[in-house]
Copies of this chain bind each other. A is one copy, B any other.
Amino acid sequence: MTLLESPRAFMPLHPQGNALASQSAQRSLPTLFAAGAEIYAQGETCNCLYRVEFGAVRIYRLLADGRRQISAFHLAGETFGFEAGDTHHFFAEAIVATGIRVLRTAPGAADLLPMALKSLVRAQEHLLVLGRQNALERVSAFLADMAERQGGLRQVELPMSRNDIADYLGLTIETVSRIFTRLKQEGVIRLPSLRRVEIVKLQVLHDLLA
Contact = CB atoms under 8 A, between A and B. Distances in A.
A96 interface: no
Given A69-B127, A130-B130, A117 B61 contact: no
Interface size on A, as a range, is 35 or more
A177 B88 CA distance: 35
Interface in A65-108: 65, 67-69, 71-72, 82-84, 89-90, 107-108
A55 interface: no
Interface stretch (A28-36, A118-126, A187-195): A118-126
Contacts of A169: 131
25 contacts: A61-B125, A61-B128, A63-B128, A64-B210, A65-B210, A68-B132, A69-B127, A69-B131, A71-B128, A82-B120, A83-B117, A84-B117, A89-B125, A90-B124, A116-B117, A119-B120, A120-B123, A123-B124, A126-B127, A127-B127, A130-B131, A130-B170, A131-B168, A131-B170, A132-B170
Contact of A63 (B63, B65, B210): B210
A65 B137 CA distance: 13
Given A61-B124, A116-B116, A116-B120, 17 more contacts: A63-B133, A71-B124, A71-B128, A82-B120, A83-B121, A90-B124, A108-B110, A112-B113, A113-B113, A120-B120, A120-B123, A123-B124, A127-B130, A130-B130, A131-B168, A131-B169, A132-B167
Contacts of A120: 82, 84, 116, 119-120, 123
A105 to B, nearest CB: 10
